[in-house]
Amino acid sequence: MKRLILSLVALVALSAAALKAQTITSPDGNLSFTFSLNEGVPTYSVDYKGAPVILPSRLGFDLNGTSDLLDGFTAGEAVKSSFDETWTPVWGEETSIRNHYNELLVQLTQTFSNRKMNIRVRLYNDGYGLRYEFPRQRSLKYFTVAEERTEFALTGDHNAFWMPGDYDTQEYDYFESKLSEMGAIAAAHVSTNSSTTRFSDWGVQTALTMKSAEGIYITLHEAALVDYSCMHLLYNPETLTFTSWLTPDAIGNKAYLQTPAKTPWRTAVITDDARELLASRLTLNLNEPCAIEDTSWIKPVKYMGVWWELITGKTNWSYAAEGNIKLAEVDYADLKPHNRHGANNENVKRYIDFASRYGFDQLLVEGWNVGWEDWFGQHKDYVFDFVTPYPDFNLPELQKYANERGMRLMMHHETSSSVRNYERHLDKAYQFMVDNGYNSVKSGYVGNIFPRGEYHYGQLMNNHYLYAIQKAAEYKIMVNAHEAVRPTGLCRTWPNLIGNESARGTEYQSFGGTHPHHVTILPFTRLQGGPMDYTPGIFRMDLTDIPGNNSKVLSTLANQLALYVTLYSPLQMAADMPENYERYIDAFQFIVDVPVEWSESRYLMAEPGDYVVIARKDKNSENWFVGGVTDENRRTLSLSFDFLPAGKEYVATIYADAKDADYETNPEAYRIVEGKVNGKSVAQIAMARGGGFAISIREATPADKKIKRLKKNF
């Protein structure tokens, strides 16, 4: 009897497999996604406006210790459905997000092994997400992925905005090149040293953005990276095909799964208008809804920090001059502090005085806790305890000082990637924060991972980052993790994840500089997964008067202001030191005015690697803000204010590059122009090389009578 049922099931499956390929279209009909079994091999392809974008591409897995899940499949029932909802993010670029897709679920069985693997596809107007699901089943309980074999077969040698694949870091400059040129460029220009873990000259990281000769933009990434390894892509220039390449663990395995299980979504945003890449919410939509019931404690944060002076080498994280002090053996009170410890009471108060005068929410203080004498590059299990301040950092007094001025301190946990140590201390460390009035932590994962041999982007570490965020939610703590895996939209589910670094941030302007095109690529790539703690706002570009620093910031001052609008984040820092802001206090006013909560965003002009112009409306007022940045080329653009509601008068304050500004020769030159505008106004705005502009726009009042109309060529 049992036999009979089994063969009947097989018959049904076979007849379903004989059915034609399954196709779904996007709600607007522009995209179509086709799944088929090609002689038992799961295969898909994607068309946009009637032309192929992804050619037939294979799906499947190499497994360890058992037969692979690559072929021999038959298809069971295909289930099609639709979904349309609008949800409210706790914070974001707008106050409501539409999640509208058509779905296809294909149920596959590998006949010879009787193992089941489903493919779920969600097709949106702006792209698709595809993931593998493994139902609970007798014939597949535990399995080890040797490699995932998801292909993206492309239609041509596209232009790409890419960075090298690496299991441990994303702090690279981007390259712009043809896909076929990537290997030679990586071989010639990307260093392979002890701090990089590259796997091939043809390997790249996601989000990867490409532009075809026909003007189609494609961004490949992943969404909802949970209990799995981070995906890189390996390019084959012969077949024009990317194949997934997962981050291994210490013994070379790629992922460990137990059914029921599912992989992250493999995503592509596809459009012929670059602005739609910026407007896409596909990554967020493919994540689960918010898992935190009471989110009232999660608030966007504008902050300053005892930080840039540490990064630039003006002062130090460490309290004592002596090197190699063992935490367990030392009584810090007996040590003589060296005169460059940044996190001392007097200096911290100086920052609080300044930041509170200008309405900042928080002050980050790094180097407040013991351990910095001997923390870097060692494979130690025990580095920091996260609860013991240095003797010259009077925590209760400083927190009180900040509170009395309407601010609070922001916590810093440098884990030195000693993750085992961090997890052991986590509850105590978070409780310590609660007891001392902190509600946000910047965490960091510098150096090699302990447990040894693990990588920053492997399954074990990805589970750790999420664990730290979930635990933080229990304590009502917001997290901004540096050096963690690049975001994949998990902030929808865990909105207390208010920031990540996971790319090259402003700190590199102090380590030799960053190419100006960087900020014109980030919004199309790294920011697709979630906000970045980029730390903009540097006003003093020549750092060579700081002993030991030979760097210059490769950006104009107006470009720095624009970043508060063009690089969306609910967490924004004014990264420079008070004394540098004092020099240009009129320009600093933009940082004071710009909000961190928005109700609406308009992507006005965009081309990856060239320029980005965005307008956003303040969530708590009728004010609008505009930011524009360019790459290393000077550009003049015509800005229409038609995003403003008709019939209303506004006062615009434009912070523009001075006529002779240039990121290399005259980076701090700017001009500020004020004028009346309305929805019909147009202005010609010149951006210097490495430059940009920022505009704050407020409703006009009778008191503004004397302010003149903004001239087109102001």
Rule CB under 6 A: say whether 536 interacts with ligand NOJ. Answer: no
For the chain, how big is the Rg over CA atoms in Å?
A: 26
Return the structure tokens found at 662. 């240039």
Question: Are the C-beta atoms of 521 and 608 separated by less than 8 Å?
Answer: yes
Kindly state the smallest distance separating residue 483's Cβ from Ca ion, in Å. 5
Work out whether 309 is an interface residue with ligand NOJ (CB under 6 A).
no
Residue 444 in the binding site for ligand NOJ (CB under 6 A): yes
How far is CA 184 from each of CA 159, 189, 237, rounded to the nearest angstrom?
15, 8, 11
Beta bridge partners of 75: 108
Contact partner, 282, from ligand NOJ, Ca ion, none, Cβ < 5-8 Å per class: none
Decide whether 70 or 446 has the Cβ nearer to ligand NOJ: 446
| Packing angle of the helix pair 345-357, 395-404 (nearest 10 deg) | 10
Report the nearest approach of Ca ion to the CB of residue 499 (Å): 12
**Cβ nearer to Ca ion, comparing 482 with 602:** 482
The nearer residue to ligand NOJ, 433 or 697, going by C-beta atoms, is 433
Q: Do 348 and 398 form a contact (C-beta atoms < 8 A)?
A: yes
Nearer to Ca ion, 116 or 456 (CB): 456
Helix 459-474 vs helix 419-435: crossing angle, to nearest 10: 10
Picking from 143, 84, 158, 93, the residue whose alpha carbon sits closest to that of residue 113 is: 143
Nearer of residues 425 and 482 to Ca ion, judged by Cβ? 482
Task: Choose which of 21, 446, 460, 658 interacts with ligand NOJ (CB under 6 A).
Answer: 446
The residue (of 176 and 414) whose beta carbon lies closer to ligand NOJ is 414
CB of 39 to ligand NOJ, least distance (A): 49
Size of the site for Ca ion (CB under 5 A): 1
Please report how close the Cβ of residue 309 comes to ligand NOJ at its closest, in angstroms.
11
State in angstroms the smallest separation of the CB of 510 from ligand NOJ.
Answer: 10
Residue 414 touches which of Ca ion, ligand NOJ, none (CB < 5 to 8 A by kind)?
ligand NOJ
Q: Tell me: cis bond preceding 578? Omega within 30 of 0 counts.
A: no
**Token pair 């980029």: residue:** 534
Instruction: For the CB of residue 507, give the shortest distance to ligand NOJ in the complex, in Å.
Output: 6
CA angle 686, 692, 697 (to 5 degrees): 90
Distance between CA 280 and CA 672 in Å, rounded? 33
The only residue of 166, 168, 507, 631 in contact with ligand NOJ, by rule CB under 6 A: 507
Q: Cα torsion for 426, 431, 436, 438, to the nearest 10°?
A: 60
Which is nearer to Ca ion, 172 or 568 (by Cβ)?
172
Residues 242 and 233: their CA atoms lie apart, in Å, by 6
Which residue number has the CB closest to ligand NOJ?
A: 414
Which of residues 47, 374, 501, 657 is near ligand NOJ by CB under 6 A? 501
Q: How near is the Cβ of 313 to Ca ion at its closest, in Å?
A: 16
Burial class (CB in 10 A: 0-12, 13-18, 19+), 257: buried
Least distance from ligand NOJ to the Cβ atom of residue 414, Å: 4
For residue 593, what are the contacts with CB-CB under 8 A and spacing of at least 6?
623, 625, 696
Minimal distance, residue 448 CB to ligand NOJ, in Å: 14
- By CB under 6 A, tell whether 195 contacts ligand NOJ: no
Residues in 379-418 that interact with ligand NOJ by CB under 6 A? 414
**Residue 224: CB minimum distance to Ca ion, A:** 24
Q: Which residue type sits at 693?
A: F
Site string for ligand NOJ, 635-674 (x = CB under 6 A): ----------------------------------------
Q: Considering the complex, what minimum distance in angstroms separates the CB of residue 671 from ligand NOJ?
A: 32
CB neighbours of residue 77 within 10 Å: 11
* Beta carbons within 8 Å of 14's beta carbon, 6+ residues apart: 74
Nearer Cβ to ligand NOJ (505/516): 505
Q: Are 682 and 640 in contact (CB under 8 A)?
A: yes
Do residues 189 and 172 make contact, with C-beta atoms less than 8 angstroms apart?
no
What are the φ/ψ torsions at residue 147 (nearest 5 degrees)?
A: -165, 140
Residue 166's binding partner out of Ca ion, ligand NOJ, none, with CB under 5 to 8 Å set by partner kind: none
Span 645-704, contacts to Ca ion by CB under 5 A? none
| Cβ burial 86-112 (10 Å sphere, 16+ → b, else e) | eeebbbbbbeebebbbbebbbbbbbee
Which of ligand NOJ, Ca ion, none has residue 444 at its interface (CB below 5 to 8 Å by kind)?
ligand NOJ
**Quick check: 144 and 50 in contact, CB under 8 A?**
no
366 makes contact, choosing from Ca ion, ligand NOJ, none, with CB < 5 to 8 Å by partner type, with ligand NOJ
**Which residue of the set 93, 366, 507, 668 is catalytic?**
507
One of 302, 482, 486, 617 touching ligand NOJ (CB under 6 A): 482
Q: Restricting to residues 347-376, name those near ligand NOJ by CB under 6 A.
A: 366
Pick out residues in 427-486 that bind Ca ion (CB under 5 A): 482
CB atoms within 10 A of CB 304: 28
Look up 507 and say whether it is catalytic: yes
Beta-carbon count within 10 A of 581 CB = 21
The Cα–Cα gap between 30 and 669 comes to 46
Tell me, by CB under 6 A, how many residues bind ligand NOJ: 9
Q: What is the DSSP letter of 432?
A: H
- In terms of CB distance, is 482 or 617 closer to Ca ion? 482
* The two structure tokens encoding residue 671: 């001009």
Comparing CB distances to ligand NOJ, the nearer of 277 and 343 is 343
Report the distance separating Cα 628 and Cα 323, nearest Å. Answer: 45
Q: Residue 274 binds what, of Ca ion, ligand NOJ, none (CB under 5 to 8 Å, by partner type)?
A: none
User: Where in 475-494 is the site for Ca ion (CB under 5 A)?
Assistant: 482
Q: Which lies closer to Ca ion via its Cβ, residue 211 or residue 482?
A: 482
CA distance 63 to 98: 37
Least distance from ligand NOJ to the Cβ atom of residue 311, Å = 6
Question: From the list ligand NOJ, Ca ion, none, which binds 516 (C-beta under 5 to 8 Å, kind-based)?
Answer: none
Assign 3-state DSSP to the chain and report helix, strand, coil percentages, each to 5: 20, 35, 45
Name the residue nearer to ligand NOJ (CB basis): 360 or 670: 360
From residue 306 to residue 335, the character string flagging contacts with Ca ion as x (rule: CB under 5 A) and all else as - is ------------------------------
Look at the alpha carbons of 251, 413, 463, 497 in this order and tell me if their dihedral is positive or negative. negative
Query: Would you tell me which residues interact with ligand NOJ (CB under 6 A)?
Result: 307, 311, 366, 414, 444, 446, 482, 501, 507
Query: Would you tell me which residues interact with Ca ion (CB under 5 A)?
Result: 482
Catalytic residue numbers? 507
